[in-house]
Structures are given as structure tokens and as C-alpha cells.
């Protein structure tokens, strides 16, 4: 078993689609990716994905394998970073994490803040689920992260943005003809909900449904927005996602705003209060001075 097998597996698991993983994450051909996944399943000895006309989903064995695969990749990356630090001990390094998809908007802003002051700084970037980013902050693996407000000791959060939730649905869905959608019209539709991983978003959606007086039981549970968009297309379901996910829609999926009072979710800048790095202090100060971050 090689690290590339683990990278391929994690990419497919997170994207919820062989096609999306091949094209967007791995830049390889789908048949080649399929072979690599089959080789991995053969070596593990059990199916990691179930395949059907509706798409691909992780088996219970696949879900158990996922956490260990991520950990192995993280440890391998940590080994690489340790070697690089040993080779260049005097070069300033700043590690940033981004909730997957958020790096498109926030990495240029964060990079500019640092490089205006320290042009030779090395910036290291990871893209991951919010709970994992919070864990990495807690363990000191990251200096800052753009994520949701997770409950971790010594991790402090500042609000950097508040995004409305929008409805994602197939482009030819009956509700797509409307300029805005009444949440009551979602009752009875195939609904794609959130798993325990994006639990902050799950809780925002749950509170919103309670507030407008509707009850919807999810047909599918997903871990990230890419999986949600893939399932919207393949199952003809609907879901609620933060508006930033509109940047990643395929032609077969569209978004529509909600009618009435619209729910929103906060994007946070998180950091460990025990981190005494001058670079962290500089970064937080520059963010405050630019009015980019507002203390929560």
C-alpha cells in the first residue's frame, strides 16, 4: 500500500464522486483512479465503496478506513515538513488551514498580509474539514485557520464573514423556476443533510427548520459541500449550503435564495491562545487593522 493510494481514497471519499476527485483534486483520468481504488480494496481485503447507478458511497469499512488514511497522510506530511524545517531552520514559516473551498477567497488576502511585511516567509496551506482544522490548531500544527466555531480548548475565534444559506437543487427541478424558495416547499423533497462532521452547519439548518415550523428528515448525510452538490445532481435532491458553494456548481446544479428571514453561518478565524509566535501576533494585528476580522 502506497501513500498515493491513501490520497486517492481520501479524495474520492471527500468528493463523493470518482469523476470530481479525478478532475478537480487529482488531475488524472477516471479509469486510472478507478483501478487504483480497486487495487487498494484488494489489498485491504474488503470493499471501501459501494457503487450503483446513483453514484458511489463509502461502505462501513470505508468510513472506518477514512480516519486512519487521513492520519497516515497527515503524519507523512508532518515528516516532510520536519525535514524541510531542519534544512532551512532560519526561514520564517506560517501554517494556515482553510475549510475546503474557502482558500479560493481567503488565501490571497491572508498571503498578502504576511508577504507585505515578510516577503521571504514560507506559507504552508492545508485544506480540510472544520473539526480537523480545530484539532490541528489545538495541537499546534497550524498557526491560524479559517473554519467554523468548534469546541476545542485554548482555541479562540474571530468572525471574519457571515454567509447566507441558499438552496441547491437540480437545474431542471420544478423549484428552479422560482426567484426565491419558500422553505415549506422543501418538505417532501429528497433532502441531503449534514453528517456529524459539518455539525455547525447541521445545527444552523436544524434551528432554521424549527424556527419556520417544518420537519425534514434527510435522505442522505454528507461530509462536505462537494459531496452535497454531487448528490443533488445524482439523486435529484435538494440541500442548504453556505453561499460560497455557488463557486463550485456544475451545470446540472443551481442555487436559489430562501424567502423570508434567511439563515446564515459564520466563518471564523481561529488560533491557539497558547501560541506565542510573533508571526501570529503580526497576522492578527494586520487582520484587525484592515477591518477583515471582527472579534466575536
Q: Cα(209)–Cα(187) distance, rounded to whole angstroms?
A: 10
For residue 253, the model assigns a pLDDT of 94
Pick among 1.10.10.10, 1.10.1660.10, 3.40.190.10, 3.30.1330.10: CATH of 3-70: 1.10.10.10
More confident residue, 196 or 24: 196
Task: Name the band, by pLDDT with cuts 50, 70 and 90, for residue 90.
Answer: low
User: How much is the CA Rg of the chain, to the nearest whole Å?
Assistant: 20
Least confident of 155-164, 258-267, 275-284, 286-295: 286-295
C-alpha cell at 157: 475565534
Q: Is the pLDDT of residue 292 over 60?
A: no
According to the model, what pLDDT value does residue 69 have? Answer: 84
Per the DSSP assignment, residues forming a β-bridge with 168 are 239, 255
**Mean pLDDT for the chain overall:** 87
Average of per-residue pLDDT across 107-123: 84
C-alpha distance from residue 167 to each of 180, 218, 239, 261 (Å): 9, 14, 6, 14
Q: Considering the domain 91-296 in this protein, what is its CATH number? A: 3.40.190.290
Q: Could you tell me the three cell numbers for 273?
A: 491562545
Most confident segment among 14-23, 122-131, 212-221 = 212-221
**What span, in angstroms and rounded, lies between the C-alpha atoms of 6 and 28?**
15
Instruction: Work out the percent of the chain whose per-residue pLDDT is above 70.
Output: 95
Looking at mean pLDDT, say which of 2-11, 94-103, 208-217 comes out highest. Answer: 208-217
Q: Band of the pLDDT at 88, cuts 50, 70, 90?
A: low
Q: Strand 220-222 vs strand 55-58: parallel, antiparallel, or unpaired?
A: unpaired
- Coil, helix or strand for 154? coil
Higher pLDDT, 183 or 68: 183
Give the pLDDT confidence score for residue 271 in this predicted structure: 95
pLDDT at 232: 94
Q: Give the model's pLDDT for residue 296.
A: 36
The average pLDDT across 146-150 equals: 94
Q: Given this model, what pLDDT does residue 247 score? A: 84
Determine the pLDDT at residue 255. Answer: 96
- Domain coordinates in residue numbering, the chain: 3-70, 91-296
Q: What is the pLDDT of residue 290?
A: 67
Q: C-alpha angle 220/201/142, rounded to 5°?
A: 115
Q: Is the pLDDT of residue 1 over 80?
A: no
Residue pLDDT, tens place only, 22-52:
777 777 787 887 888 888 888 888 888 888 7
The whole-model pTM stands at 0.67
Provide the strand spans (E) within 129-191.
Answer: 144-147, 155-170
Among 4-8, 158-162, 243-247, the range scoring the smallest mean pLDDT is: 4-8
Compute the C-alpha angle 25/28/34, nearest 5°: 95
Mean pLDDT of 52-68: 82
Residues written for the chain: 296
pLDDT in tens, 160-190: 999 999 999 999 999 999 999 999 999 999 9
Amino acid at each position: 500500500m502506497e501513500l498515493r493510494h491513501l490520497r486517492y481514497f481520501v479524495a474520492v471519499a471527500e468528493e463523493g464522486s470518482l469523476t470530481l476527485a479525478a478532475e478537480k483534486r487529482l488531475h488524472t483520468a477516471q479509469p486510472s483512479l478507478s483501478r487504483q481504488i480497486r487495487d487498494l480494496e484488494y489489498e485491504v481485503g474488503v470493499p471501501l465503496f459501494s457503487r450503483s447507478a446513483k453514484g458511489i458511497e463509502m461502505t462501513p469499512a470505508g468510513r472506518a478506513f477514512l480516519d486512519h488514511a487521513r492520519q497516515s497522510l497527515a503524519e507523512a506530511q508532518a515528516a516532510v515538513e520536519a525535514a524541510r524545517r531542519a534544512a532551512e531552520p532560519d526561514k520564517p514559516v506560517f501554517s494556515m488551514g482553510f475549510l475546503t473551498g474557502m482558500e479560493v477567497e481567503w488565501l490571497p488576502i491572508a498571503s498578502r498580509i504576511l508577504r507585505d511585511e515578510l516577503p521571504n516567509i514560507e506559507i504552508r496551506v492545508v485544506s480540510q474539514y472544520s473539526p480537523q482544522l480545530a484539532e490541528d490548531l489545538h495541537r499546534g500544527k497550524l498557526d491560524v485557520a479559517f473554519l467554523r466555531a468548534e469546541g476545542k480548548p485554548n482555541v479562540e475565534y474571530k468572525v471574519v464573514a457571515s454567509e447566507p444559506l441558499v438552496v441547491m437543487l437540480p437545474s431542471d427541478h420544478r423549484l428552479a423556476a422560482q426567484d426565491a424558495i419558500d422553505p415549506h416547499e422543501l418538505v417532501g423533497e429528497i433532502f441531503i443533510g449534514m453528517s456529524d462532521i459539518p455539525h455547525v452547519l447541521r445545527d444552523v439548518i436544524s434551528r432554521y427548520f424549527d424556527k419556520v415550523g417544518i420537519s425534514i428528515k434527510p435522505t442522505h448525510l454528507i461530509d462536505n459541500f462537494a459531496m452535497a452538490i454531487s448528490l443533488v445532481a445524482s439523486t435529484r435532491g435538494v440541500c442548504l449550503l453556505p453561499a460560497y458553494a455557488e463557486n463550485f456548481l456544475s451545470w446540472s446544479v443551481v442555487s436559489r435564495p430562501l424567502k423570508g428571514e434567511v439563515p446564515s453561518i459564520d466563518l471564523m478565524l481561529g488560533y491557539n491562545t497558547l501560541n506565542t509566535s510573533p508571526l501570529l501576533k503580526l497576522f492578527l494585528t494586520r487582520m484587525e487593522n484592515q477591518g477583515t476580522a471582527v472579534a466575536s
